Amino acid sequence: MKQSQLIFKTKKENILDESINANLLIKASFVKKLMSGVYSYLPLGNMVLRNIESIIREEMNKLGSQEILMPALHPKEPWEKTKRWELKEMFKIRDKEYGLGWTHEEIVVPLAKEAAFSKKDFPFSLYQIQTKFRNELRAKSGVLRGIEFLMKDLYSFHVLEKDLDVFYEKVKKSYFNIFKKCGLEKKTFLTLASGGTFSKYSHEFQTITEAGEDQIYLCEKCSLAINKEIIKQEKYQCPKCKNKKLTVKKAIEVGNIFKLYDKYTKPFNFKISDKYVFMGCYGLGISRLMGAIVEICHDEKGIIWPEQISPFNIHLISIGKVKKQADKLYQVLQKKGNKVLYDDRDKNTGEKLVEADLIGLPIRIIISEKTLQKNCIEIKKRDEKTIKLQKYNR
Amino acid sequence: MKQSQLIFKTKKENILDESINANLLIKASFVKKLMSGVYSYLPLGNMVLRNIESIIREEMNKLGSQEILMPALHPKEPWEKTKRWELKEMFKIRDKEYGLGWTHEEIVVPLAKEAAFSKKDFPFSLYQIQTKFRNELRAKSGVLRGIEFLMKDLYSFHVLEKDLDVFYEKVKKSYFNIFKKCGLEKKTFLTLASGGTFSKYSHEFQTITEAGEDQIYLCEKCSLAINKEIIKQEKYQCPKCKNKKLTVKKAIEVGNIFKLYDKYTKPFNFKISDKYVFMGCYGLGISRLMGAIVEICHDEKGIIWPEQISPFNIHLISIGKVKKQADKLYQVLQKKGNKVLYDDRDKNTGEKLVEADLIGLPIRIIISEKTLQKNCIEIKKRDEKTIKLQKYNR
């Protein structure tokens, strides 16, 4: 794409909004804030969301899960069955007869019940990528904590408890594959959380960042963390290796997984051979992942997008009177399968480079009269300082 | 995909819900009704939505439009500026401080205003594929008329009126390209509608079907229709050829386009060189298109999906003890780039064929002991009666 055609330009002034992710994403024109906790995703931001979605879809499909799309508008009845209608998270509309879904157990269990009649229909799982709403008064961490947000939610159903256990472990691996592709694997830790009345633990995936609203106790030996809620019950030690030297870190929860057993299959009387079906649920915040990536992957100049998340992989910048050669290089790079943002604008070099650093594509290529005199182009990775000259036959 | 792994099976009993599209889509397990006007899209239905979305995205990108994603939750203020806050269409939440968007002029105009400062930034357009909500008490035409529905909405901005005119005509063509790929082009007519206080006409795209809630007056000479609202003002004749023999038809509005001029740029004071920016808006219902396709493309046996909309292009059905050969054919067909639903189940032939007709994939291929004795497979198109034998070297 030619940058001259990009409708939303980067902003010159610094944004002093509420969080690093919001400030950088707004300044680089990936998002615009509509109100607290509610954002519009501009063309570059929309591309980032789509890239995160593809990574997640690929992993979900590998699990053998099937994608569906459930509605956001929910009737009152199923939520009364699970006794969650009165929870404060729910926005209510039309004389409080409908609610806006902040999770989908109440909708997916009746769906699943209709699909599976006998043991041979199990195990199976369903997922969706869908917009959720959550009634929170305090929403002030950019796209990390929205009252409207994009989520992937996965639900699995099992006749045998051991099948739930097996699937649960598979999802853990899947999630780490996703975090790796999102550039978050080094900062993201499996974290023990309360399992409610049914399980000993549930698991969160916590990404360490100063922007995090959660606090975790990290065992650096095991790479396992314990969340604040249950650290007392765990006697301030790692339940795996008994290490007592835990490091306290601020973190943001990017995903959570939960063995629900029959918590939600019971109210809907979802049984096979007189036994309630076992269930697991597995959430992952897509817009929140975008925010977490920016919190982790940035420097003082701007964002540093991981390759698979970046809206384009190459930022081609022409400097000076090299339009013909730059146009050609743009074609060549695209033919090789690259997604290229081509800064074809007639602007001063400094400004172009500052904008490129702010937008944060993985590879910057400069073509100028100076580089062409040496039959070269200049290549720099966004996360490295070295500039390399590479031979280029025009 | 192997049909044995498809989580949601077709239903045996006929559904006598509210409309042909709902009955067939529910029976074939493409959708499940959650409540009036609100549906879950099951794996096959979700694939159909994704296919319609790709067709639309391709055409929008060809127009040079850029995709964004605006939120569903809207604050009150911009809607007060346009004096639309009190319209009955809006679901309101949190003490009526927020609304759920049923259209996005109030959100996109302030966005666009931030992007464009000078004449050279024009013309431009933005579109999104997004879930909308509309407070309607009467919602009883299946996915044709939802209170929650998926829409593509496109907004264009122009300094010159003639640029708006040019873009408007391009969108018309774009829409017919989309209807063609959706198998609706023969039944869908450009329809003159009221232009409000600003334009002489706006345009609807009406698909003729008994399920339609609208009435149009069709001039079969011009292939132009006039909607009920303005037929009196047009003196019951075609404004193009003056033909007075108009045929009254029931139809469903699948899209509409509107020259808004400065109707919404004025309240937001969006000006260039002291003149309000011209604007156009262009809607297309995605879930509604899915419903319209089923209304048009079906017979007494089930759905007949157009090729580009169908979740799979081939339904491969194995009959009898031919597992090894059928498995191989499944691989071969996929390697050739086909999307194949492979009915590998151990079920009686009659049931398999009935289900295949109900699901409605474009091409059915049968492999059986009988066909293999002749070194053949049997090929039948869903919309044709002829069965062809084709040589097949196993």
Domains of chain A: 3-213+250-299 (3.30.930.10), 314-391 (3.40.50.800)
Q: Which residue of A has its CA nearest to B67?
A: A43
Contact between B122 and B273 under an 8 Å Cβ cutoff? The reply is no
The minimum CA-CA distance between A39 and chain B, rounded to whole Å, is 6
Q: What is the pLDDT of residue A51?
A: 98
**Cβ separation B114–A39 shorter than 8 A:** no
A62: confidence class by pLDDT, cuts 50, 70, 90? very high
Contact with chain A for residue B4, Cβ under 8 A: no
B200: confidence class by pLDDT, cuts 50, 70, 90? confident
Contact between B310 and B297 under an 8 Å Cβ cutoff? The reply is no
| Mean pLDDT across A298-302 | 97
Helix ranges (DSSP H) in chain B: 20-27, 43-62, 77-81, 105-115, 161-181, 228-231, 286-296, 323-335, 349-359, 369-373
Give the three-class secondary structure for B342.
strand
Range with the lowest mean pLDDT among A65-69, A192-196, B179-183? A192-196
Question: Which residue did the predictor score with more confidence, A126 or A94?
Answer: A126
The predicted-structure confidence for B133-184, as pLDDT tens digits, reads as follows 999 877 778 888 889 999 999 999 999 999 999 999 999 999 999 999 999 9
- Report residue B74 as tokens: 């809207």
The predicted-structure confidence for A4-18, as pLDDT tens digits, reads as follows 999 999 999 888 877
Q: Taking 80 as the threshold, does the pLDDT of residue B197 lie above it?
A: no
**Cβ separation A131–B133 shorter than 8 A:** no
| Mean pLDDT across B236-246 | 94
Q: Which residue of A has its CA nearest to B78?
A: A34
Which of B69, B134, B277 is the best substitution to test chain A (most A C-beta atoms within 10 A)? B69
The minimum CA-CA distance between B381 and chain A, rounded to whole Å, is 27
Q: Taking 80 as the threshold, does the pLDDT of residue B383 lie above it?
A: yes
Q: What is the pLDDT of residue A394?
A: 67
Q: Taking 80 as the threshold, does the pLDDT of residue A232 lie above it?
A: yes
Contact with chain A for residue B80, Cβ under 8 A: no
**Cβ separation A131–B131 shorter than 8 A:** yes
The whole-model pTM stands at 0.96
**Sign of the Cα pseudo-torsion (A196, A200, A206, A212, in order):** positive
Contact between B344 and B392 under an 8 Å Cβ cutoff? The reply is no
Q: Report the C-alpha gap between B249 and B228 in whole angstroms.
A: 10
| Mean pLDDT across B18-39 | 94
A145: confidence class by pLDDT, cuts 50, 70, 90? confident
The predicted-structure confidence for A74-105, as pLDDT tens digits, reads as follows 999 999 999 999 998 888 887 778 999 999 99
DSSP letter assigned to residue B167: H
B369: confidence class by pLDDT, cuts 50, 70, 90? very high
Q: Report the C-alpha gap between A330 and A353 in whole angstroms.
A: 18
**Cβ separation B71–A39 shorter than 8 A:** yes
Of B43, B107, B131, the CB nearest to A66: B43
Range with the lowest mean pLDDT among A195-209, A375-389, B167-181? A195-209
| Mean pLDDT across B318-333 | 96
Tally of helices (H runs) and strands (E runs) in chain B: 10, 23
Chains A and B form CB pairs within 8 A to the count of 120
For B174, other C-beta atoms within 10 Å of its C-beta total 21
Give the three-class secondary structure for B191.
strand
Contact between B236 and B219 under an 8 Å Cβ cutoff? The reply is no
Enumerate residues 6+ apart whose C-beta is below 8 A from B296.
B183, B184, B187, B207, B209
Contact with chain A for residue B138, Cβ under 8 A: no
Strand B278-285 relative to strand B247-261, pairing: antiparallel
The proportion of chain B whose per-residue pLDDT surpasses 90, expressed as a percent, equals 89
The predicted-structure confidence for B61-73, as pLDDT tens digits, reads as follows 999 999 999 999 9
**Length, in residues, of chain A:** 394
Residues of B in contact with A8 (CB under 8 A): 114-115
DSSP letter assigned to residue B119: G
A20 forms beta bridges with none
Relative orientation angle of helices A286-296 and A20-27, to the nearest 10 degrees: 90
Range with the lowest mean pLDDT among A139-143, A305-309, B121-125? A139-143
| Mean pLDDT across A246-253 | 96
Would you tell me which residues 90-129 of chain B have a C-beta closer than 8 angstroms to some C-beta of chain A?
Answer: 91-94, 98, 100, 107, 111, 114-116, 121, 124, 126
Of B68, B94, B124, the CB nearest to A41: B68
B394: confidence class by pLDDT, cuts 50, 70, 90? low
The predicted-structure confidence for A160-184, as pLDDT tens digits, reads as follows 999 999 999 999 999 999 999 999 9
Strand B363-368 relative to strand B376-381, pairing: antiparallel
Would you tell me which residues 160-189 of chain B have a C-beta closer than 8 angstroms to some C-beta of chain A?
Answer: none
Q: What is the pLDDT of residue B97?
A: 85
- Report residue A385 as tokens: 């300082």
A138: confidence class by pLDDT, cuts 50, 70, 90? confident
Helix, strand, coil % (nearest 5) of chain B?
30, 30, 40
Q: Taking 80 as the threshold, does the pLDDT of residue A140 lie above it?
A: no
Q: What is the mean pLDDT of chain A?
A: 95
